[in-house]
Amino acid sequence: MTTLLPTTTAGSLPKPAWLAEPGTLWSPWKLEGEALIAGKRDALRLAVDDQRRAGIDIVGDGEQTRQHFVTTFVEHLDGVDFAKRETVRIRNRYDASVPTVVGAVSRPKSVFVDDARYLRSQTDGPIKWTLPGPMTMIDTLYDAHYRSREKLAWEFALILNQEARELEAAGVDIVQFDEPAFNVFFDEANDWGIATLERAAQGLTAETAVHICYGYGIKANTDWKKTLGQEWRQYEQTFPNLQRSTIDILSLECQNSRVPMDLIELVRGKKVMVGAIDVATDIVETPQQVADTLRKALEFVDADKLYPATNCGMAPLARDIAHGKLKALGAGAAIVRAELSS
């Protein structure tokens, strides 16, 4: 990346009202068939345009192509029965009705590669594509076949690696794996979670990122955050092993969070996507607030490795608020970039 402090988002942006119900997560599509395919592409172009206008350097699809960051990927796999549902506790936090793994999992054809190719055609700048991580995938399913979280995670790692390699061939510069489960299941993350993530990223020449957050601004997450105490030290559990891992970039939640900023020191040497936009509030940050967060982060990450970003996805926010936050991110990064260059 030649730009200093290249800005990016964690991934999702609100969808247009004609594509899916605004203000809610995982809302169903309002279109079908060919109209849905065309609608997703139109929404992707708008998301790219919004990011470009806001000065976002590493552009994503705003996740306009998926309903849910895990299940939309899983829908395309064999071995998972979406009609057979079980209620499970997701990330030890909330119950959800999820599909069941009923046989060997495999990926009969690519999932997001056409969409990524379309994104590639919309910009000459760097692009990032998000995939779920293996541990977060297994935590969002009921497994009636492997009966082993670790075994299923390794299977998903192989499938994710196939998809990631095709995304890279389609011109994706950064493949990001979302692993919020790393902030909950520390022992599993260290025993095999980080290893399966590395397997998912194996052999890629594109850069790889892992996004570890405290979730969207939904009630189950904000209630959970209230139980975490004054200091959120969850990252401390996995950062030492992530620092030694093959993953290039870590995406973290820093804005308005109780994560002590000095925990970033634990991954010194890695690139860090510093969350400088809070997605759990409708209050739009000022560029100065964003700049303050970035300046604090610069104590623990070298300037050439700092990527200003959002804490998490902005899918559930109103569009005008998300736009405001994108602009604040771009403008805040510009302030610090100017300070570093002078």
Instruction: Give the residues lining the site for Zn ion (CB under 5 A).
Output: 213, 312
If the CB atoms of residues 218 and 266 are measured against Zn ion, the closer one turns out to be 218
CA–CA distance, 109 with 257 (Å, rounded to integer): 39
Residue 29 bridge partners (DSSP): 20
Closer Cβ to Zn ion, 112 or 146, answer by number: 112
| Minimum distance from residue 313 beta carbon to Zn ion (Å) | 6
Q: Where are the beta strands (DSSP E) in the chain?
A: 78-90, 94-106, 128-132, 142-143, 174-178, 207-211, 249-253, 271-275, 306-309
> Which C-beta is closer to Zn ion: that of 153 or that of 312?
312
Q: Between 213 and 291, name the residue whose CB sits nearer to Zn ion.
A: 213
In angstroms, the CA 340 to CA 103 distance is 54
Q: How far is the CB of 249 from Zn ion (least distance, A)?
A: 14
Closest separation in Å from C-beta 221 to Zn ion:
9
Provide, rounded to whole angstroms, the least separation between the CB of residue 93 and Zn ion: 13
Closest approach, Cβ 195 to Zn ion, in A, equals 22
The nearest distance, CB 252 to Zn ion, in angstroms, is 10
Considering beta carbons, is residue 105 or 280 the nearer one to Zn ion?
280
Contacts 24+ apart (CB under 8 A), 301-305: 301/264, 301/268, 301/272, 301/274, 303/4, 303/5, 303/340, 304/4, 305/269, 305/270, 305/271, 305/272
Which single residue is written with the structure tokens 């009202």? 17
- Tokens 């804490």 locate to 311
Is 271 in a helix, a strand, or coil?
Answer: strand
* Residue 324 three-state SS: helix
What is the rounded CA–CA span in Å between residue 311 and residue 214?
A: 8
> Residue 80 or 213: which CB sits closer to Zn ion?
213
| Cβ atoms of residues 198 and 233 within 8 Å | no
**Residue number, 141 or 279, with CB nearest to Zn ion:** 279
- The least CB distance from residue 62 to Zn ion, in Å, is 14
Q: Which is nearer to Zn ion, 180 or 324 (CB)?
A: 180
Sequence-separated contacts (24+) of 226-232 with Cβ below 8 Å: 228/258, 229/258, 230/258, 231/258, 231/259, 231/260, 232/257, 232/258, 232/259, 232/260
Nearest distance, CB of residue 73 and Zn ion, angstroms: 15
Per-residue CA distances from 123 to 7, 44, 45, 101, 116 (Å): 15, 12, 10, 38, 11
